[in-house]
C-alpha cells in the first residue's frame, strides 16, 4: 500500500525507518522499482565513485558544464544542513515541492509491484532524484556514488562516462579490506565501450583488469592524460588535447589537481556530445564551490572545515594544514563514526594539532568522545601546558570552547565526519542570522 506525506520532513522521517537496515547493498530491489518507473536518460550521464575526491570532482564537472551554458543536474550525498543539497539543477538546490512530487512517483511505482520491495533511505531518495533529473530536459547528469560502486544504488543507471577518483581503505566491512578488493567494487560503474576515467596515480590491478575484461575505454592518469604546473598556473594534456595557462581550482587542497584533471578527462571523453572549450574550463575552475572540503572561513581565528574521515583524507588534511601560513596553536574539533579507522585518521595529525576537542555525534553509528580520547592517548599524546584534550557532548559545544580558547592568530580545524562539520556549520549559521 502506497504512503503519502505533505511535506519533505515527514517523507524523510518515514524513509529512515522504511527498510529493516540502513545499508543494504544490492541492485535487485531498486532495479525492480526503476523498471516500474520506466526510468531512462537522454542526457549524458557521469557517474563518480572513489574513496576521496568524489564530491570535489562532481563539483568541478558541474561548474565547467554550467560555464559552458549546459543544463546540468547533480546528485551528491550526504548533505550538511538541508536534504535539498543532494539534488541541484543549474547549480541550485531543487525545491521541496519538486522532490515530493518524485517521492510520490517512486512510492506509487514501488507499491504497485507484486511483493512490493522496501527501499533504504538512500535507495529511495536516489531513485526519486534520478527520476526528477530524467524528466527535467537536462543536457548532463552527474551522479555521485554513495558507497563502493558495483552494488550502489547509483549503478542502476548506465553511465556514459564513469570516474573513479581514488582507491583507499574505507567501508571495509562492505567493500573489502584491501585496495584490490575495493577497486573491483568501484570499477563496477564502468561500462563496455564507454570511457572509464581513473585518477588514482597507483591504480589497483583489479580495476585495470576489470576495465579490460568488459571492454571499457580506460583513461589512466600518467598514461592517457596528465597535468603539470608551477606556482602560478597549470596545464592538462591527454589523447591529443592540451590546455595550458589554467588557473588553479577555487577548491583548496593537495589533491585537487588530480580531481580537476579527472573532470577534464571526462569532458574530453564525451566532447562529441558535450563540447567544452578552454575558457569554459578556466571559468568553471575559478567559480567552483564545495562546502566542507578544506574550506577556509573568513575572519580570525582561522577556521578550516574538512570532512576528512579516513586515513587517506587525513594525510591530505595534514599536508594542507602544513602548507598554510604559521599559526601558534591549532585546535581540532573532531567527532567520528565508530566503524572508521580512527587510529589511521588521528595518527597523521598528531604533530600538527595541539589541542584536541573530541565530541559525541547525533547518531548511534558514532564513536563516543571518550573512545577518541583513549585512542589519542594510546598513540602517545601527552597533555601539557601547550597541549591538551577535552570532551564535549556535541560539535557545537566543542567549537564554542575552541573559539573561547583560540587566539586571533591561532587555527581551528573541524573534521572527522560530515556530522561534525554540519554541527559547526549549523552553529555558525545560527550566529550569523
Q: What is the pLDDT of residues 173-211, one digit of tens each?
A: 667 678 999 999 999 999 999 999 999 999 999 999 999
CATH number of the domain where residue 270 is located:
3.40.1190.10
Q: Which of 267, 287, 307 is the last residue of a domain?
A: 287
Q: Which of 236, 264, 287 is the last residue of a domain?
A: 287
* Residues 165 and 36 occupy one common structural domain: yes
Threshold 0.75, pTM exceeds: yes
> Mind listing the pLDDT tens digit for each residue in 167-176?
986 655 667 6
- Rounded-to-integer distance, Cα 391 and Cα 378, Å: 16
- Rounded-to-integer distance, Cα 163 and Cα 44, Å: 14
CATH number of the domain where residue 368 is located:
3.90.190.20
What mean pLDDT is predicted for residues 246-263?
Answer: 92
* Residues 150 and 81 occupy one common structural domain: yes
Distance (Å) of CA 343 to CA 43, 191, 349, 395:
43, 36, 10, 20
| Residue 140 in domain | yes
* Residues 63 and 207 occupy one common structural domain: yes
| Residue 2 in domain | no
| Residue 134 in domain | yes
* Residues 264 and 317 occupy one common structural domain: no
| Residue 1 in domain | no
- Rounded-to-integer distance, Cα 222 and Cα 239, Å: 11
> Mind listing the pLDDT tens digit for each residue in 381-394?
999 999 999 999 99
* Residues 259 and 406 occupy one common structural domain: no
* Residues 265 and 361 occupy one common structural domain: no
| Residue 385 in domain | yes
What mean pLDDT is predicted for residues 239-248?
Answer: 95
* Residues 218 and 327 occupy one common structural domain: no
> What is the domain extent for residue 361?
295-432
* Residues 267 and 306 occupy one common structural domain: no
The per-residue pLDDT for 171 is 57
| Residue 3 in domain | no
Of 241, 66, 101, 212, give the one whose Cα is nearest residue 198: 212
* Residues 226 and 353 occupy one common structural domain: no
* Residues 283 and 299 occupy one common structural domain: no
- Rounded-to-integer distance, Cα 109 and Cα 106, Å: 5
Please tell me the total count of domains within the chain. Answer: 2
> Mind listing the pLDDT tens digit for each residue in 56-114?
999 999 999 999 999 999 999 999 999 999 999 999 999 999 999 999 999 999 999 99
Q: Which of 287, 314, 338 is the last residue of a domain?
A: 287
* Residues 314 and 400 occupy one common structural domain: yes
Find residue 143's DSSP bridge partners.
47, 75
Percent of all residues in the chain with a pLDDT value above 90, rounded to a whole number: 91
Q: How confident is the model at residue 370 (pLDDT cuts 50, 70, 90)?
A: very high
* Residues 79 and 169 occupy one common structural domain: yes
- Kindly list the strands in the beta sheet with 388-392, ordered across the sheet, starting from the edge strand earlier in the chain: 295-297, 302-305, 411-415, 330-334, 355-359, 388-392
Collapsing DSSP to helix, strand or coil, 159 comes out as: coil
Is residue 230's pLDDT more than 90? Answer: no
Amino acid at each position: 500500500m502506497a504512503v503519502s506525506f505533505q511535506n519533505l520532513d515527514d517523507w524523510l522521517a518515514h524513509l529512515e525507518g522504511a527498510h529493516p537496515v540502513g545499508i543494504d547493498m544490492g541492485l535487485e530491489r531498486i532495479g525492480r522499482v526503476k523498471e516500474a518507473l520506466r526510468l531512462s536518460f537522454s542526457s549524458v550521464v557521469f557517474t563518480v565513485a572513489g574513496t576521496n575526491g568524489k564530491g570535489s570532482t562532481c563539483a568541478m564537472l558541474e561548474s565547467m558544464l554550467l560555464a559552458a551554458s549546459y543544463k546540468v543536474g547533480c546528485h551528491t550525498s550526504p548533505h550538511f544542513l538541508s536534504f535539498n543539497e543532494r539534488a541541484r539543477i543549474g547549480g541550485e538546490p531543487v525545491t521541496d515541492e519538486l522532490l515530493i512530487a518524485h517521492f510520490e512517483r517512486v512510492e506509487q511505482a514501488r507499491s504497485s509491484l507484486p511483493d512490493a520491495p522496501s527501499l533504504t533511505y538512500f535507495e529511495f531518495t536516489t531513485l526519486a532524484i534520478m527520476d526528477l533529473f530524467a524528466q527535467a530536459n537536462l543536457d548532463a547528469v552527474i551522479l555521485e556514488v554513495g558507497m563502493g560502486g558495483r552494488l550502489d544504488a547509483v549503478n542502476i543507471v548506465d553511465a556514459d562516462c564513469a570516474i573513479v577518483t581514488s582507491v583507499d581503505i574505507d567501508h571495509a566491512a562492505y567493500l573489502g579490506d584491501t585496495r584490490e578488493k575495493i577497486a573491483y567494487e568501484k570499477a563496477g560503474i564502468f561500462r563496455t565501450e564507454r570511457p572509464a576515467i581513473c585518477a588514482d596515480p597507483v591504480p589497483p590491478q583489479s580495476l585495470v583488469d576489470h576495465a579490460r575484461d568488459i571492454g571499457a575505454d580506460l583513461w589512466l592518469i600518467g598514461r592517457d592524460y596528465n597535468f603539470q604546473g608551477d606556482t602560478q598556473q597549470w596545464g592538462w594534456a591527454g589523447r591529443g588535447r592540451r590546455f595550458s595557462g589554467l588557473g588553479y581550482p577555487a577548491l583548496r587542497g593537495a589533491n585537487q589537481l588530480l580531481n580537476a584533471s579527472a573532470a577534464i578527462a571526462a569532458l574530453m571523453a564525451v566532447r562529441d556530445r558535450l563540447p567544452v572549450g578552454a575558457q569554459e574550463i578556466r571559468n568553471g575552475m575559478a567559480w567552483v564551490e564545495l562546502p566542507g572540503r578544506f574550506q577556509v572561513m573568513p575572519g580570525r581565528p582561522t577556521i578550516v572545515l574538512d570532512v576528512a574521515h579516513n586515513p587517506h583524507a587525513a594525510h591530505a588534511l595534514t599536508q594542507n594544514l602544513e602548507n598554510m601560513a604559521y599559526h601558534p596553536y591549532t585546535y581540532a574539533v573532531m567527532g567520528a563514526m565508530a566503524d572508521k579507522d580512527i587510529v589511521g585518521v588521528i595518527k597523521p595529525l598528531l604533530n600538527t594539532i595541539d589541542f584536541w576537542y573530541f565530541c559525541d555525534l547525533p547518531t548511534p553509528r558514532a564513536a563516543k568522545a571518550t573512545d577518541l580520547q583513549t585512542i589519542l592517548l594510546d598513540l602517545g599524546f601527552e597533555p601539557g601546558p601547550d597541549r591538551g584534550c577535552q570532551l564535549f557532548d556535541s560539535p557545537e559545544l566543542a567549537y564554542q570552547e575552541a573559539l573561547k580558547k583560540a587566539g586571533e592568530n591561532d587555527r581551528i580545524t573541524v573534521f572527522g565526519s560530515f556530522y561534525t562539520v554540519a554541527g559547526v556549520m549549523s552553529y555558525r549559521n545560527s550566529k550569523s542570522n
